[in-house]
Chains A and B, each alone.
Chain A
Amino acid sequence: MEDRLSEILSPYKGKQDALIPILQKVQEEIGYLPAEAMQEIARTTGLPQSRVYAVATFYAQFYFTRRGRHQSKICTGTACHVKGAARIMDTFERELGIACGETSEDYEHSLETVACVGSCALAPVVVVDEEVYGQVDSSKMSKIFDDFKETEKED
């Protein structure tokens, strides 16, 4: 992890203004922001750790715990809300056995909301592992859950 971090951070030495892009880059590479990464970011930029945490915790994009292999995001933007996003969330919670905002113990799944991905004309929308699913109904959900089971079997 240490080598990896110093490699990611090497272009940012002393660049305090670039804090948010740095956090984004580290999360993109590692999947979340572990404590040691936060320390390393503080060291590289020369910012106090409190400042690094203050900024990172302000923004919804950053995670401080490990995420699941599959990340399901249920759009709860207005268009999707009107088209029944709450029921879709209920179904995901039931099927995955985790509540919104949680990661399963085996790190297979994370479930959360997203406030609009800009595909509102296809509402209701779900984003699974960066792929956008539009006009989601019970049969599309079944297919998503079946695909999850497929990848489990492959291991």
Chain B
Amino acid sequence: MIQITSPPQMAKIMEQCQAALARQKVRFLVCAGTGCVAGGSLDVYDEFKRLIEEKGISVDVELLYEGQKSDAGIGIGGCHGFCQMGPLVRVEPKETFYTKVKVADVEEIVTATIDKDTVVERLLYQNPDGSRSVTEHEVPFYSTQQRIVLGKCGVINPEDIREYFAAEGYQALAHVLQDLTREQVIDIVTRSGLRGRGGAGFPAGRKWQSCLQATGSPKYIVCNGDEGDPGAFMDRSVLEGDPLAVIEGMTIAGYSVGASYGYIYVRAEYPLAVKRLHKAIAQARQSQLLGDNIMGTGFNFDLKIFQGAGAFVCGESTALTLSIEGKRGMPRVAPRPRTTEIGLWDKPTVLNNVKSFAYVPDIIRKGADWFKAIGTETSSGTAVFALTGNITNSGLIEVPMGTTFREIIFNLGGGIPDGEKFKAVQTGGPSGGCLPESLLDLPIDFDSLDEAGAIMGSGGMVIMDERTCMVDVARYFLDFTVIESCGQCVPCRLGTKQLLEVLEDICAGKGRKEDLDLLYELSHAVHAASICGLGQTAANPVLTTLRYFKEEYEAHIFDKCCPAKVCKALISFVISEDRCKGCGICAKHCPVSAITGEKKQVHVIDQSLCIQCGVCMEKCPKKFRAVDCVSPRIKAAVPETMETT
């Protein structure tokens, strides 16, 4: 294992590692992020290994570092953010980008690459116009991205620290330890304009400065990898794909505030990220980049991983530190001390998001001005979003702050699939809001989203088409908040429950005229009287849907109609007399036997039995499409007296 005993040595190590990797004629990098593993990428990896070894080529990377050349090698990579097209395989040095690779395809790739020096056309990404993209950069999804935090994800092997060295890793820390004082480091971070990526956008430099000045020791560095927004996976990908960037960023933070210990708090649901972090920490320790006497400079800093136990509120900074201390994760009551002064174990603590730390090495290396030049006046740098929902290309994207929704959704994202129409974009998770089509040209940054009533959040961006009911979406988020509220403030505990009940009533067709005012009133009360961000922002999904999609609430309340045909109590499934060919497929699949009909005769749904599961509509053959979903409900053929109950 490479030992770094002085900062100047780092430059030479980088060259050695680059040279070692260059000794490999070609390399197959198989994506081993959570998404691709779910698609079977580990089997694909094994098959590459088997076939290469069958050719008498050794895939032992150690030989490269000993100076031997090799005709081919393999490695694993982190998430490229395009998991939808996975398993992905990248072939270096040409950067050929293969999608949806199956075990059966591997032999063809190996033969084409090693024996014929060609590409396997059919596995390249197919562009909307039918042509193929050979490299990642040509794929429309990546074409206008600017990848900084995600830059190394998928491109280096996150389980081998030498690849991080080859990609200029630890050059920043070497520079810091050799040339910069604490104040100078903080000055660079401040001037770069880096704002925290965990949601609120607090200036990172100011936070570090405040911790530097705080009295009390020891001091701690804490990385928030709780990623509670249900529908976002940016932090997961960074931790899996480039764990050492986060570790290096935390080490630099430690140096600049005078902390020698740090924690990485990782969500319970991310086992692979935990595994990669453990490996990265062990390798960094062996290379004298964590622990005592880092790079021989006398600076000490070490890290521990803490696995969360499944509580959204623990993403809040005071709750998170209490959770590390082995307590219930309940946000501290106001007046809340600042974490930079009284944080973990009541000591001064810098707590930042995963991405906030991951930006730091690049900012130190390339300078504050470089970062400041990207993005907008008040929000510098890039924004990372997890683009999901009803969108053609879903995945992780990184774009300069100030990019518009339209650019992201219709250019990178490829628009709305299945010929549907765009309806809303949701950012900021349960604390955020839903924005309508009229705001598509809004340049996105911390402040513009705030003004529009949503928030940047940590980066979830869920696209919704006309098949999404906005009342149901508000209900969905409130359901989440009610479960996740820690319960110590009454307005949050009971107010969110009240909001949820009103929304449930509206979805169930029991909405009343007064409910709209009641929703506003409750929302303001919960916002005003809750002590932590969870309660304070809990009503945002309600307020934004009311602000931009009020007519949908009105349709539910006054017409008992769910325009998106989602709310089960307001829809009916009916079979069209004209189109039904009596094939009987629907009847066979109906879970409650609500469909009857003779063979080759028009089938009928008994509305009093139907549970609106939608299976019949899904199963009716495409060529007939004989099942329709309608709202408001059609009257069931039941006696009048029963209808009024």
* Interface residue ranges, A against B (CB under 8 Å): 16-21, 23-24, 54-55, 58-62, 76-83, 87, 90, 94, 114-123, 125, 130-134, 138
Which of B229, B233, B307, B312 interacts with A119 by CB under 8 Å? Answer: B233
The distance in angstroms between the C-alpha atoms of A16 and B229, with both chains bound, is 30
The distance in angstroms between the C-alpha atoms of A55 and B426, with both chains bound, is 33
The distance in angstroms between the C-alpha atoms of A54 and B330, with both chains bound, is 12
Please determine whether B389 and A82 come into contact, CB atoms closer than 8 angstroms: yes
Stretch of B35-43, B246-254, B373-381 contacting A (4+ beta carbons < 8 Å): B35-43
B270 CB → nearest A CB, Å: 6
The distance in angstroms between the C-alpha atoms of A130 and B468, with both chains bound, is 30
- Is B93's CB within 8 Å of the partner chain A? no
A131 CB → nearest B CB, Å: 8
Q: Mark contacts of B319-361 with chain A using CB atoms, 8 A cut-off: 1 yes-contact digit, 0 otherwise.
A: 0000101111110000000000000000000000000000000
The distance in angstroms between the C-alpha atoms of A101 and B145, with both chains bound, is 41
Please determine whether A79 and B38 come into contact, CB atoms closer than 8 angstroms: no
Chain A residues in 8 Å Cβ range of B389: 78-79, 82-83, 123
Please determine whether A21 and B35 come into contact, CB atoms closer than 8 angstroms: no
B330 CB → nearest A CB, Å: 8
- Is B2's CB within 8 Å of the partner chain A? no
User: What size tier do the contact residues of chain B reach?
Assistant: 35 or more
B375 CB → nearest A CB, Å: 25
Which residues of B from 184 to 242 have beta carbons under 8 Å from A? 227-233, 236-237
Residue of B nearest to A83 (CB): B389
Q: A78-B426, A79-B389, A120-B388 given as contacts; is B613 within 8 A of A115 (CB)?
A: no
Chain B residues in 8 Å Cβ range of A119: 34-35, 38, 83, 233
Which of A79, A115, A118 interacts with B312 by CB under 8 Å? Answer: A115
Q: A115-B230, A118-B270 given as contacts; is B614 within 8 A of A58 (CB)?
A: no
B160 CB → nearest A CB, Å: 23
Chain A residues in 8 Å Cβ range of B35: 119, 121-122, 134
B33 CB → nearest A CB, Å: 9
The distance in angstroms between the C-alpha atoms of A76 and B330, with both chains bound, is 24
The distance in angstroms between the C-alpha atoms of A93 and B475, with both chains bound, is 21
* Interface residue ranges, B against A (CB under 8 Å): 34-35, 37-39, 81-84, 227-233, 236-237, 267-271, 306-312, 323, 325-330, 386, 388-390, 394-396, 426, 429, 460, 462, 464, 468, 473, 476-477, 480, 486, 591, 613-615, 618
Chain A residues in 8 Å Cβ range of B270: 118
Please determine whether A58 and B311 come into contact, CB atoms closer than 8 angstroms: yes
Please determine whether A19 and B326 come into contact, CB atoms closer than 8 angstroms: yes
The distance in angstroms between the C-alpha atoms of A123 and B476, with both chains bound, is 16
Chain B residues in 8 Å Cβ range of A81: 231, 473, 476
Q: A81-B476, A119-B233, A121-B388 given as contacts; is B613 within 8 A of A90 (CB)?
A: yes
The distance in angstroms between the C-alpha atoms of A58 and B312, with both chains bound, is 11
Please determine whether A55 and B328 come into contact, CB atoms closer than 8 angstroms: yes
Q: Can you list 5 A-B pairs, Cβ within 8 angstroms, ordered by A?
A: A61-B308, A80-B231, A87-B614, A118-B269, A120-B386
Please determine whether A55 and B327 come into contact, CB atoms closer than 8 angstroms: yes
The distance in angstroms between the C-alpha atoms of A54 and B322, with both chains bound, is 13
A14 CB → nearest B CB, Å: 13
Q: How many A-B residue contacts, CB cutoff 8 Å? A: 137
Chain B residues in 8 Å Cβ range of A24: 307, 309
The distance in angstroms between the C-alpha atoms of A121 and B462, with both chains bound, is 10
Chain B residues in 8 Å Cβ range of A133: 38
Q: A59-B311, A115-B480, A120-B388 given as contacts; is B37 within 8 A of A78 (CB)?
A: no
Please determine whether B231 and A78 come into contact, CB atoms closer than 8 angstroms: yes
Q: A17-B326, A55-B327, A123-B388 given as contacts; is B34 within 8 A of A117 (CB)?
A: yes
Q: A59-B311, A87-B614, A116-B232 given as contacts; is B326 within 8 A of A122 (CB)?
A: no
Please determine whether B307 and A21 come into contact, CB atoms closer than 8 angstroms: yes
Q: A122-B38, A122-B83 given as contacts; is B269 within 8 A of A78 (CB)?
A: no
A-B pairs, top 6 by smallest CB distance, nearest first, are A78-B231, A77-B230, A59-B309, A60-B310, A79-B388, A118-B233
The distance in angstroms between the C-alpha atoms of A117 and B386, with both chains bound, is 13
A137 CB → nearest B CB, Å: 9
Which of B34, B310, B462, B591 interacts with A79 by CB under 8 Å? Answer: B462
Q: A61-B309, A121-B82, A122-B84 given as contacts; is B34 within 8 A of A132 (CB)?
A: yes
Chain B residues in 8 Å Cβ range of A123: 388-389, 394
Known: A79-B394, A83-B389, A121-B396. 11 other contacts (CB 8 A): A19-B326, A58-B311, A78-B429, A81-B476, A87-B613, A115-B228, A118-B269, A120-B231, A121-B81, A122-B83, A134-B39
Chain B residues in 8 Å Cβ range of A90: 613
The distance in angstroms between the C-alpha atoms of A90 and B396, with both chains bound, is 30
Please determine whether A82 and B464 come into contact, CB atoms closer than 8 angstroms: yes
B416 CB → nearest A CB, Å: 12
The distance in angstroms between the C-alpha atoms of A114 and B15, with both chains bound, is 45
The distance in angstroms between the C-alpha atoms of A94 and B231, with both chains bound, is 26
A62 CB → nearest B CB, Å: 7
Residue of B nearest to A79 (CB): B388
Chain B residues in 8 Å Cβ range of A115: 228, 230, 312, 480
The distance in angstroms between the C-alpha atoms of A120 and B81, with both chains bound, is 10
Residue of B nearest to A133 (CB): B38
Please determine whether B323 and A82 come into contact, CB atoms closer than 8 angstroms: no
Please determine whether A116 and B231 come into contact, CB atoms closer than 8 angstroms: yes
Please determine whether A58 and B269 come into contact, CB atoms closer than 8 angstroms: no
Chain B residues in 8 Å Cβ range of A17: 325-326
Chain A residues in 8 Å Cβ range of B37: 132
Please determine whether B310 and A120 come into contact, CB atoms closer than 8 angstroms: no
The distance in angstroms between the C-alpha atoms of A122 and B328, with both chains bound, is 33
